[in-house]
Structure 1
Amino acid sequence: MTALTLSTAAAAGLRADAIVVGVAKGAEGPVVAPGAEAVDQAYDGKLAVVLETLGASGAEGEVTKLPAPSGFKAPVVVAVGLGAAPEKDEPYAAESLRRAAGAAARALAGSKKAVFALPVADAADAGVVAEGALLGAYSFDAYKENGRNSKNAKNGKAPLAEVALLGGKPRDKAYKAAVERAVAVTEELNRARDLINMPPNDLNPAAFASIAQTAGKEHGLKVQVLDEKALTKGGYGGILGVGAGSAAGPRLVKVSYTHPEASKHLALVGKGITYDSGGISLKPAGHNETMKCDMSGAAAVFAAVVAAARLGLEVNVTAWLALAENMPSGSATRPGDVLRMYSGKTVEVLNTDAEGRLVLADALWAASEENPDAIVDVATLTGAMMLALGSRTFGIMANDDAFRGAIHEAAEEVGEEAWPMPLPEHLRKGMDSPTADIANMGERMGGGLVAGLFLKEFVGEGITWAHLDIAGPAFNEQAPFGYTPKGGTGSAVRTLVRLAELTAAGDLG
């Protein structure tokens, strides 16, 4: 876990492995960003010239290393690109700072300490730089021989151990609060990443439930676990149907944070398919290898409720983790089977690989029974959403346009890429079934929207609801970028925490 401190010391006198400064892309070449004045002066005001000579342009995410000037205790300067320089007197965009800090932290893996001298104009900037550095320093190597958690950890390349953030004011309440928030949110987001990256032979539904129980004891949360017996008694046909083919039984986990003075209640529902083979509708070769990530929605809502507790937000937040392993076997649900859901509705299963909506349906109805002020579900639900929005943007659907807009604004505020999507009523007819109340498949075109319409059927009457399809950004199969690692990303965690903050403040409506 990377440590973070605020410092007012002079950059030259700090002992560290490196000093991180910002460089922006100007009209006539790289421009040294605020925060790097001491380094620039030590280069006789020619740091930008030196960087340009080394090929730096200031482009976003670009990292250039050079020897530190004489008199500095740190041996290396790391110049990280911030992208286009803002207009005169305009601040640097929060996401540019966050990504630059993340890129620098990744580049400094294996270092013990780095001093970050990026542009910090106020407490909010301090918070986003802290977020970027802590998220960028993340690594998951617990299963590698030389991983940081192995006996040979000393031979591995551990993440950056300590960040000293310059430009902050350690005794200023606003700066202190911003950094404390960043630490809480990023540690829980990184907890979500760990869960997503864990191999499915170690993270089955029961193991996930146990992790939730342990976190509940640590942070004062109430955790209730429904096992197969309780699910059967309760009539949770969707969760049981999806988990029927696996030797690892399903679970429904309720994690509750309550504040004594809260007047609002936010319910979060997460898809938690700890491994998705597709079931009897088996996925083709090449589509199974990353299906450990199909529990990213459950990881996100779990991380968000723990973060809300750590921040002491004046709002009640309940996370529902719908956990199952979708496997093919003699006991597995078949295409053509009819499941009776927890709500009482029946669903004809036309494709067992459309399983996420089945577990979510039961959890959505359970959440609705508590009549919360709003429900948000999060799921790696459809490949169709990836085709529509790509691999870095999640889709937002809702039964209330204003709520959908509020979530989009919250996502933009915290630096998560999202886009509002419609729920066209004409697509509902495609899920009509001659046998059951509804089928779990509809028209192929607009499949992500069809899935949203299916979920809408299981939200209690009069309850405001939104659905986040994070199929694209939940798992990064490409090279790392900014503060985003390869593998599990923790997508939607920051948006959910921001929603909880807005709800606590009475600003969500």
Structure 2
Amino acid sequence: MVKLQVQRGDLRAVRGDLVFVPLPEGDVRAAVRRLDRRLATALARRLGAGAFRGRTDDLLVHHGERTTAFLGIGRAPVADDAWRRAGARARQEAERQRARRVAVYLGENGASREVLAAFGEGFLLAGYRFGRYLSNDDGQRCVERLAMVGETVAGTAALRPVVSALEAVVREVFRARDLVNEPASVKTPRFLAEQATALAVEIPGLEVEVWDAERIARENLAGLLAVARGSREEPRFIILRYAGAAAGPHVALVGKAITFDSGGLSLKPAKSMETMKYDMAGGAAVIGGVAAAARLGLPVRVTGYVPATENLPGGSAQKPGDVIRYRNGKTVEVL
């Protein structure tokens, strides 16, 4: 993961292969002049021609003594999501420029933890790439460091929780994306259960319980068993629990994890099956979400439920017209 740093300084002191300067919509020439008169002079013609106005889709790159990129962040006041999107656009441009050491000058906004967190989150998330099965990795990511520089920034002790929380969230988002992107032949229900169990060993306070097919039948989870009947892969029911200190409300998350959905006997068209390995994305999100809550030590009680199975057209698959009686006594006909 990219190394994050927070520093105090002005624009002239910022160092990096590529330096980003976010600017709001408005009189950008005056804004650049206040930051750096020499830079404003060099950019006078381009700014005067309206090449950059500070709109959210604006980007102006200047190659001088160093490479500086101005990012439009829209009209003030700038919402956190606009900062997040600016961070994502900065990462995309940094990779395009193949910059290793990247900096962003936030000016007075460097004093805001929310701005630091939003920009950093967008920057890190935009760098996600699933390359586990590539035969060559020539397109590997370049960025190694992001320095967020402000005229006034909080002390190291105050910023450490911000950076730690940001890294924890991004790590679990990447984990969920990795699970979604794995081939269906790899991410079987058993594989998901093993991944969740390993998390419980890694993260203090996280508990994971896995029910196998026998336990699922004993608990009468009839819907899960019915969907699983056509596959040789046994289903799993994964329960993740976390209870923070002085835990507040109890939050329950349920994520469907059909690791491959062919449609069963009502087979989907081939084109529609190309994305059916993604039918477990809800389960991946729940696994990542509960894990993130535990990493962050949130003052909340969370339980995640992930029913995992394949839906395939085997000889024992459920048939249209079958009736399933659920644990609560309700009956449902398969159409």
The answer on 1:234 being equivalent to 2:219 is: yes
- 2:86 equivalent in structure 1: 100
Corresponding residue number in structure 2 for 1:111 = 99
Name the residue aligned to 1:290: 275
After superposition, residues 340-489 of structure 1 pair within 5 angstroms as: 340-350=325-335
Check if 1:6 corresponds to 2:6. yes
Aligned residue for 2:149? 166
SS of the residue 1:286 aligns to = helix
User: Which letter does structure 2 place at the counterpart of 1:18?
Assistant: L
- 1:231, 1:296 → 2: CA distance? 21
Gap change, CA 1:278 and 1:264, over 3 Å in 2: same
Distance 1:331 1:48 in 2: 73
Unpaired stretches in structure 1, ≥5 consecutive residues = 148-154, 351-509
- 1:127 is aligned, of 112, 117, 123, to 117
Superposition CA RMSD, Å: 2.5
Match of 1:137 in 2: 127
Change (3 A) 1:186 1:47: farther
Residues 51, 64 of structure 1: 8 Å contact kept = no
Report the residue type matching 1:228 in the other structure.
A
Matched to 2:116, the amino acid is A
- 1:94–1:32 CA distance, 2 compared to 1 (3 A): farther
Percent of pairs identical after alignment? Answer: 36
Report the CA distance between 1:41 and its aligned residue: 3.1
The superposition leaves residues 215-266 of structure 1 with CA deviations (integer Å, 9 ceiling, x where unpaired) of 1111021111111122122211111111211222211100111224324321
In structure 2, do the counterparts of structure 1 residues 327 and 289 end up closer, same or farther at CA, with 3 Å as the change threshold? same
Shift of 1:105: 0.6
Tell me how far 1:204 sits from its aligned partner.
1.4
Structure 1 residues 42 and 310, CA gap change in structure 2 (3 angstroms): farther
8 Å Cα contact 1:339-1:346 kept in structure 2: yes
Counterpart pick for 1:63 among 37, 59, 66: 59
Q: CA deviation at 1:335?
A: 1.1
Equivalent runs, 1:236-385 vs 2, <5 Å: 236-350=221-335
**SS of equivalent to 1:43:** helix
Q: Distance in 2 between the 1:224 and 1:165 partners?
A: 41
Q: Distance in 1 between matches of 2:141 and 2:162?
A: 26
CA distance in 2: counterparts of 1:192 and 1:31, whole angstroms:
43
The TM-score with structure 1 as length reference comes to: 0.60
Report the TM-score when normalising by structure 2: 0.88
CA offsets per residue over residues 395-415 of structure 1, 9 Å max, x none? xxxxxxxxxxxxxxxxxxxxx
Which letter maps to 1:300?
A: A
Please state whether the residue corresponding to 1:245 is helix, strand or coil: coil
Counterpart residue identity of residue 107, structure 1: E
Structure exhibiting the larger radius of gyration computed from Cα positions: 2
Q: Higher relative CO (CA 8 A, sep ≥ 6), structure 1 or 2? A: 2
Q: Do residues 77 (structure 1) and 68 (structure 2) align?
A: yes
Structure 1 residues 224 and 55, CA gap change in structure 2 (3 angstroms): same
Partner of 2:139: 156
Deviations 1:375-409 (A, max 9, x none): xxxxxxxxxxxxxxxxxxxxxxxxxxxxxxxxxxx
Report if the CA contact (8 A) 1:268-1:317 is conserved.
yes
Change beyond 3 A, Cα 1:61–1:342:
farther
Write the deviation string for residues 443-498 of structure 1: whole angstroms up to 9, x where unpaired.
xxxxxxxxxxxxxxxxxxxxxxxxxxxxxxxxxxxxxxxxxxxxxxxxxxxxxxxx
Cα–Cα, structure 1 residues 236 and 144, in superposed 2: closer, same or farther, change >3 Å? same
CA distance in 2, matches of 1:104, 1:48: 23
Aligned residue in 2 for 1:198:
182
Q: Compute the displacement of 1:95 (Å).
A: 0.9
Any idea what SS the aligned residue of 1:267 has? strand
Q: Residues 276-327 of structure 1: CA distance to partner in whole angstroms, max 9, x if unpaired?
A: 1111122223221112211111111111111111111111111111111111
Give the letter for the 2:131 counterpart: D
Partners of 1:61 and 1:3 in 2: CA distance = 26
